[in-house]
Amino acid sequence: MKRLSDIKFSTLDLVPVRENGSVAQSLRNSLDLARHVEKFGYNRFWVAEHHNMDGIASSATSVLLGYLAGGTSTIRVGSGGVMLPNHAPLVIAEQFGTLESLYPGRIDLGLGRAPGSDQMTARALRRERSGSADEFPQDVAELMRYLGPRTPDQRIIAMPGTGTNVPVWLLGSSLFSAQLAGERGLPYAFASHFAPRFMHEAIRVYRNHFKPSAVLDKPYVMLGVPLVAADTDEQADYLATSVYQRILALMRGQSLVQRPPVKTMDGLWLAHEKEAVGDFLGLAMVGSPQKIRAKLEVLIEQTQADELIFTSDLYEHADRVHSYELLAQVMKG
């Protein structure tokens, strides 16, 4: 049985834009956070591709990763993830081949099959490309060929990219990518930070379908976890109201810019909305270090996950940094 101190821990940054804030400051905050968690002992720092969302500044994912990798020295940086239906596999191979060439041994390529946006935005991104999620398995295979060793009969190469063997992860919030990751022998990251309902089933499907590969000889599971750590339970509950407001805005189709915490959510949400936000954040770790430690120990016991990747969507940047600092102390025992 795994103990908490055996588990690798990482950061997923949504590069939040706050109310009356600027995108430039959000991007600078992301680098500052990456530098802090690198010192705290985190394993990797990922950002996710989203589009047409005014509160998330990570749409140009590979460009942002170059900024983050260039401003850090040891932590792995990567995509959590690139939404592959939005892109030609060759383009992603060239982008991440470039990153790996500049920052060897530090780049991860996490891939998702959702658009990371609404259908109108997806069409604007793809234009003449079909971008169908049904093509995801073929697109993953094509991309991995571009990143692998060049073959004698290969007529199209990714330059940079060929021979870089950038580590590929499959990401998912349902069972499709779990099965595909298992069959391809790839590491799997489940989006339990917003879809906890399918977590146990996805892990089971992945492990049951796993076939050893040149990449992995046994399954490797990473789980997304929302985080609001503070010195006291009461302070964490207060800070978490920013997260609740953001998820509520997402469900209502409203602006996703970060809002400051409030003393109470009463009057801001209806009963069914409170329940829906609670389901969305079912895996959230909210509280003091002692409370979070107890909840994480249960999570590891139930899932036997290999790694946890935490997202902390707090209004004040200093509170976010402190949240990750407290978590590092918990994880190290």
26 pLDDT above the threshold of 90 = yes
Task: Determine, yes or no, domain membership for 58.
Answer: yes
Chain center to CA of 255: 21
Tokens, residue 309 = 């990747």
Nearest-angstrom CA–CA distance, 251 and 54: 15
68 assigned to some structural domain? yes
Do residues 97 and 164 lie in contact, with contact meaning Cβ atoms separated by under 8 Å?
Answer: yes
298 falls in which pLDDT band (50, 70, 90)? very high
String of DSSP letters for 238-262:
HHHHHHHHHHHHHHHT----B----
CA–CA distance, 159 with 96 (Å, rounded to integer): 10
Tens-place pLDDT, residues 53-112: 999 999 999 999 999 999 999 999 999 999 998 899 999 999 999 999 999 999 999 999
Judge whether 155 lies within some domain.
yes
- DSSP letter assigned to residue 312: -
Report whether 217 contacts 302 (CB < 8 A).
no
Alpha helices in the chain (DSSP H): 23-40, 61-70, 89-102, 119-126, 136-147, 176-184, 199-209, 233-252, 271-280, 289-303, 317-331
Which three-class secondary structure state does DSSP give residue 269? strand
- Residue 14 belongs to some domain of the structure: yes
Q: How far is CA 208 from CA 52, 183, 211, 286, in A?
A: 37, 9, 9, 32
Q: Is residue 129 included in any domain, yes or no?
A: yes
Does 127 have pLDDT greater than 80?
A: no
Predicted pLDDT at 2: 86
Domain containing residue 318: 4-229+283-331
Pick the residue with more confidence: 129 or 48?
48
* For residues 41-60, average pLDDT: 95
How many whole angstroms separate alpha carbon 190 and alpha carbon 68?
23
So what's the pLDDT on residue 3?
87
**Residue 124 clears pLDDT 80, i.e. is over it:** no
- The pLDDT, as a whole number, for residue 133 is 59
Is the residue at 244 inside a domain?
A: no
3-state secondary structure of 277: helix
Residue 180 lies in a domain: yes
Q: How many folded domains does the chain comprise?
A: 1
pLDDT value of position 120: 73
Whether residue 252 is contained in a domain is answered as no
* Domain containing residue 49: CATH number: 3.20.20.30
Q: Give the SS3 label for residue 12.
A: strand
